[in-house]
Amino acid sequence: MLTTPSSLDQRFGLSRRVVLPGPLRLDGGALLAPVEIAYETYGTLAADGGNAMLVCHALTGDQHLASAHPRTGKPGWWQRMVGPGKPIDTDRYFVICTNVLGSCMGSTGPASTDPTTGRPYAMTFPVITIRDMVRAQALLLDHLGVARLMAVVGGSMGGMQALSWAATFPDRVEKCVVIASTARHSAQNIAFHEVGRQAVMADPNWRGGDYYDGDPPAAGLAVARMAAHITYLSEAGLTEKFGRRLQARAQKSFGFDADFQVESYLRHQGLAFTDRFDANSYLYITRALDYFDLAEEHGGLLANAFRGTATRFCLVSFDTDWLYPTAESRSIVHALMAAGAPASYVELSSPFGHDAFLLDSPELDRVIHGFLSAGR
């Protein structure tokens, strides 16, 4: 089906970008065109196209799955999982990772130029959904000549995309791996995101989103990141890492410096985040997450999302994850059971809360490697 060896095909490799003509009809009703997608591919697409896999990133992730981040220089966000000989083995699989629609690492988002005005979209960018992100990825797969995915894999928001893939394009997904995720945002999830969005919007530099010609609302975005970061960790993890220990001082200052190590850590996390992320993208992507309710898209019954599916599912949750707790994964599992879908599920133990899915976990490696390689 391919006439060019994939190693010579300009569509494949690191730091790729493509402008797809679109238009993409969004869940909110708007038409988006053009649709630019930044992505990376790893490994070689088999002649029959049967080894293609899509890995979906989380809220503030990007397409640099297993390659150095261009701005921070840090290793790819899932480098421990993806690569030659790794559980997601790029010697065997052709792995695609795209920057999601609405983000700020090269895919069309609020910082992109609106072709009708020649200025950044800012808040005129249409509100997008997880399913819109998935449909944009499907456009990219069409461009890459990938008709069917042997697997869609994702953690957190990536897991929501994986679920949405299985529900939206069941015939294009053979296996679906959903890690530390949920089929809908809870009131508590929405509440934390609203705190973050209000922090951004309260920053005077935000200026209704039209800040691209001046200073960005870094202070507000940093606070948003700080609040969100707490939800990625467990209380036990925070206690173990910081306790009540003071930051480079022998006693409390009786002031409002970062006396405690945990304060200093969060401030650093917030500040570092503003160097690599666009505040408006943060608003749009958190909105997409809050709108996510897979059951709602299927008549209120989650099982309907998977009725008659031939996709095989593997779900993993972590016992200390209170952002998307085990109960959320279990309710997905119950829906899969009700739909008669082949599903595996395991709750793994980790002290690290939601972040556990990104950290070293031999059990997670074993489950993912086993699930992906089974039957091949």
Residues interacting with other proteins, by CB under 8 A?
Answer: 312, 314, 330, 333-334, 337-338, 340, 342-349, 363, 366-367, 369-371, 374-375
Q: Quick one: 192 or 345, whose CB is closer to other proteins?
A: 345
Among 189, 193, 187, 184, CA closest to 293: 184
Q: Quick one: 26 or 367, whose CB is closer to other proteins?
A: 367
Torsion, Cα 18 21 25 31, to 10 degrees, reads 110
Query: Using CB atoms within 10 A of its CB, is residue 73 exposed (0-12), middle (13-18) or buried (19+)?
Result: exposed
The residue type found at 277 is F
Minimum distance from residue 366 beta carbon to other proteins (Å): 5
Q: Quick one: 249 or 366, whose CB is closer to other proteins?
A: 366
> Among all chains, which residue has been given the structure tokens 């739909």?
339
- 260: its two tokens: 């405690």
DSSP state of 38: E
DSSP string for residues in 185-240: --HHHHHHHHHHHHHHHHSTTTGGG--TTS---HHHHHHHHHHHHHHHS-HHHHHH
Binding-site residue positions = 225, 355
Q: Quick one: 75 or 370, whose CB is closer to other proteins?
A: 370
Minimum distance from residue 58 beta carbon to other proteins (Å): 23
- 27: its two tokens: 């869940």
For residue 75, what are the CA distances in angstroms to 38, 68, 118, 173? 18, 4, 35, 28
Minimum distance from residue 144 beta carbon to other proteins (Å): 27
Binding-site residue positions for substrate = 225, 355
In the beta sheet, which residues pair with residue 37? 18
Q: Quick one: 263 or 347, whose CB is closer to other proteins?
A: 347
Q: Quick one: 92 or 312, whose CB is closer to other proteins?
A: 312
Minimum distance from residue 151 beta carbon to other proteins (Å): 13
DSSP state of 75: P
Q: 35-42 and 94-98: which strand pairing?
A: antiparallel
Say if residue 170 is preceded by a cis peptide, omega within 30 of 0: no
Minimum distance from residue 318 beta carbon to other proteins (Å): 11
Minimum distance from residue 344 beta carbon to other proteins (Å): 5
Minimum distance from residue 346 beta carbon to other proteins (Å): 4
Enzyme catalytic residues: 156, 321, 354
Q: What are phi and psi of 284, to 5 degrees?
A: -65, -40
For residue 143, what are the CA distances in angstroms to 22, 103, 323, 327? 12, 20, 35, 38
Q: Quick one: 6 or 234, whose CB is closer to other proteins?
A: 234
Mutual angle of helices 157-168 and 130-144, in 10-degree steps: 70
Phi-psi region of 103 (alpha: psi -120 to 50; beta: other; left: phi over 0): beta
Tell me how long the chain is: 376
The residue type found at 278 is D
